[in-house]
Structure 1
Amino acid sequence: MKKILMILLVAFIGANSFAQSKSEAKIIHLNDDTFKEKVFDYEKGGDWKFEGDKPVIVDFYADWCGPCKRIAPVLKELQKEYGDAIQIYKVDTDDSPLVSRAFGIRSIPSLLFVPMKGKPTMAQGALPKAKFVEAINDVLGVKAPN
């Protein structure tokens, strides 16, 4: 009986820790300076050198943008579902003109999918959740959680 209780307790703690790590993963807002630290130092120029430690999606958005507002809950849901496997960043194009200009952002939302290795891929528009999941799988190389 003690053995069964111990196994159940260990299983509960493990599942609870997993759930906490997923729920603690949050979307992070970046500006011109923090983007250089966490993603890519666009001022140095030269070849792409990703600064992160996990695949990321960067959402270039503005508070006044209707399509940006429509994908915001989808991104929040994806960050929660994927937990620490990916990181979603948001960059307000009005507040961060330098990074927005460096990436040629002319329409929003624009989404930068950054894998651990290789070049990033840009997508534009309010993508449906299924397209995000497809890009996370195909571009970022991260499988959907069970």
Structure 2
Amino acid sequence: MRKLFNTLLISILLSASAFSQQKADVKIVELNAAAFKQKVWNFDKSKTMNRVGNLPIIIDFHATWCRPCKMLAPHLQAIQNKYQGKLIVYKVDVDQEPEIAKLFGVEAMPTIIFINAKNS
């Protein structure tokens, strides 16, 4: 009985340790035009892509009324968590920021754009 108790105790401690070492969720940032210019690309200064930073970026063009966009959101959150520090995921609401959507030729939602570290 004591051996069983010790085994259970060790198992509980090990599993608690494993859970405590998991990375916390990193919230995906919703970008407005000003934040987009600061964090991704200042399209007022340069008409060609000259992005800020050196990490690859995923931009999720979505709308609040878009059901497929809502279904995609947890998967993008999982990507953000898994590649934390190696990749950045941003969201842009096409109804709030139509100018940014137009720059990327977004015509349907969801639209996902990947920008690698070399601006393409």
What TM-score do the two structures reach when normalised by structure 1?
0.63
Work out the CA distance in 2 between the residues paired with 1:111 and 1:26.
17
1:62 maps onto 2:63 in alignment: yes
1:116 maps to amino acid: A
Work out the CA distance in 2 between the residues paired with 1:46 and 1:90.
21
Q: Return the index of the structure with the highest Cα Rg.
A: 2
Work out the CA distance in 2 between the residues paired with 1:51 and 1:45.
12
**Would the aligned equivalents of 1:60 and 1:109 in 2 still touch at CA under 8 Å?**
yes
- Aligned residue for 1:26, secondary structure, equals coil
**Would the aligned equivalents of 2:50 and 2:119 in 1 still touch at CA under 8 Å?**
no
Residue pairs, 1:126-137, within 5 angstroms: none
Work out the CA distance in 1 between the residues paired with 2:94 and 2:47.
23
Please name the residue that 1:27 is paired with: 28
Residue pairs, 1:98-137, within 5 angstroms: 98-119=99-120
Question: How far 1:24 sits from its partner (Å)?
Answer: 4.7
Work out the CA distance in 1 between the residues paired with 2:96 and 2:119.
28
Please name the residue that 1:52 is paired with: 53
Higher helix share: 1
Structure 1: which 5+ runs fail to align? 1-11, 120-146
Q: With CA pairs under 8 Å and 6+ residues apart, which has the higher RCO, 1 or 2?
A: 2
- Aligned residue for 1:83, secondary structure, equals coil
Question: How far 1:52 sits from its partner (Å)?
Answer: 2.3
1:106 maps to amino acid: E
- Aligned residue for 2:114, secondary structure, equals strand
**Would the aligned equivalents of 2:69 and 2:110 in 1 still touch at CA under 8 Å?**
yes
- Residue identity (%): 36
Once the two structures are superposed, residues 119-144 of structure 1 have per-residue CA deviations (whole angstroms, 9 ceiling, x without a partner) of: 1xxxxxxxxxxxxxxxxxxxxxxxxx
Structure 2: which 5+ runs fail to align? 1-16
Work out the CA distance in 1 between the residues paired with 2:48 and 2:103.
14
Please name the residue that 2:84 is paired with: 83
Question: How far 1:105 sits from its partner (Å)?
Answer: 1.2
Count matched residues: 102
Work out the CA distance in 2 between the residues paired with 1:30 and 1:58.
9
